[in-house]
Amino acid sequence: MDTSKLFSLEGRTALVTGGSKNIGKWIAAGFVAQGAKVYISSRKADACFATAKELGPNCIALPQDVSTVAGCRALAAAYAEREPALDILVNNAGVAWGEPFEVFPEKGWDKVMDLNLKSPFFLLQALHGQLKAAGSAGRPAKVINIASIDGMRLNPWDTYSYHASKSALIYLTKRLAARLVRDHINVTAIAPGAFASDMNRAARDHGDAVAKAIPAGRIGAEEDMAAAAIYLASRAGDYVIGDTITVDGGLVHAHVGVSIDA
C-alpha cells in the first residue's frame, strides 16, 4: 500500500466560498499547500484579492456575493470562463443572526437561511457540469459543505435561524450525496466547533474560557480545520459519502452530561 500521495491535491482545482478569512481561508491555505489551484470567493473584493495575494500564485480571487441565486450563477459562470472542470467545491460562506425570540425579525431569518442553506444548493446546481467533468469512478469530484456543531446541539444564544440552517445543511448534504454519487461527485460536510473567527467571537476573544468546556481542553487551530478538509478532498476521503465530520475537540460526541439528582 502506497500512502505517500493519499492526501495530495496535486493537479486539482478548488473553489472555496467565503475564502478570504477564517475557516475558508484556512481551508484554502491547506489546499494550496497540498498542491491544488484554489479559487476563493467572497463578497468583499478587496479582502478576496488580499488573501489571494497572501496565499500565493496558486490562489486566485473571484469576488462574488453568493447570497442570491443570481450571485451563485454569476460565480459559476466566472469560474467556467477560467476552468473547464472543478475538482473540489467548498461551500463555506455563511452568516449568523442573534436576537431574542420575541423580536427575532424576518430579515434575520431570510438572510441566514438564504446564504447558509439555499446558496450551497444553487451554487452546486450551477457548477454541476464542471464537477461532473472532473469526476470519475477512480477519482470523484468533491463537494464539502461547512455546517456547524450548532446543527447538532444547542448553543446558549438566540440564533434560531442559524441553528435551523446548519441542521438542515447536514441533512441536505445526505440528500445531495445520494443524488450526485452517480455522477462521481461525493458530497460531505464538516461541522466545526469552537474556532477563533469573526462569527465565533467567544472563541476568538475568550479562547481560554471557552476551552474549559471542551473535552480536548482547547479551541480549534487553523491546522485542525485544514486537515479535515484536505482529508475529505483528497484520495484519503474517497470512500466517505454523505457524512458530516465533527471537528470540535469532542464537544458533541465526547462530552459527558451533568447528572441531576431527583
So which residues are the catalytic ones?
A: 162
Within the chain, residue ranges assigned H as helices are: 22-33, 45-55, 69-80, 106-113, 119-126, 128-134, 160-180, 201-205, 207-211, 222-233
Cβ 91 vs Cβ 27: under 8 Å: no
SS3 call for 18: coil
What whole-number distance in Å separates Cα of residue 192 and Cα of residue 244? 10
What whole-number distance in Å separates Cα of residue 135 and Cα of residue 210? 41
- Any bridge partners for residue 134, and if so which? none
SS3 helix, strand, coil % of the chain, rounded to 5?
Answer: 45, 15, 40
Cβ 52 vs Cβ 30: under 8 Å: no
What whole-number distance in Å separates Cα of residue 145 and Cα of residue 117? 10
H or E element that contains 190: strand 185-192
